[in-house]
Amino acid sequence: MNPVIGWGLAVAAIAAGYMSYGWPGVALGVSAVVFWLLLQFTRILKVLRIAGNNPVGLVPNAVMFNVQLRKGIGLTDVLKKTRSLGRRIGEGENPEVFAWADASGDEVQVQLVKGRVTAWTLVRAAGQSG
């Protein structure tokens, strides 16, 4: 979701609370916004905890991971699919490129700009066709 839309909805909830119930409505609106932010924070921490407990840059099947990728999906969604942190290729470069490989040697290199997938490449292991 676009952050401008999210914060706009938060302001609208607080304004609606004020218009309907006065200051108690503002307190209710702020409580709802804080609750939503805590849910998002908990979701991201869960994804990072799972990814952090697995080997870096390893996926069960790189070809299947390649098929699941779409332009514009966020890094959090990529980490959910891989259940692993990516191996960084090229320190300090922009756009950022991370790689995930499987046991057979196939590798998917994912290019990220502002935390969103912009391009990816499947690199097959030597000696495979397809």
pLDDT digits (tens, 9 = 90+) for 15-47: 999 999 999 999 999 999 999 999 999 999 999
Q: What is the pTM of this model?
A: 0.79
* Structural domain spans, the chain: 3-51, 55-123
CB under 8 A, 24+ apart: contacts of 63-72: 63/102, 63/106, 63/122, 65/100, 65/108, 66/108, 66/120, 66/122, 69/108, 69/110, 69/117, 69/120, 70/117, 71/117, 71/118, 71/119, 72/116, 72/117
- Burial of residue 82 (CB within 10 Å: 0-12, 13-18, 19+) is buried
User: Tell me, which fold does domain 55-123 have in CATH?
Assistant: Beta-lactamase Inhibitory Protein; Chain:B, domain 1 (3.30.1450)
Residues 6+ away with beta carbon under 8 Å from 56: 84, 85, 86, 87
- Residue 3 pLDDT class (50, 70, 90 cuts): confident
The three-class DSSP label of residue 100 is: strand
Q: Are strands 107-113 and 116-123 parallel, antiparallel or unpaired?
A: antiparallel
**Lowest-pLDDT range, 24-28, 65-69, 90-94, 109-113?**
90-94
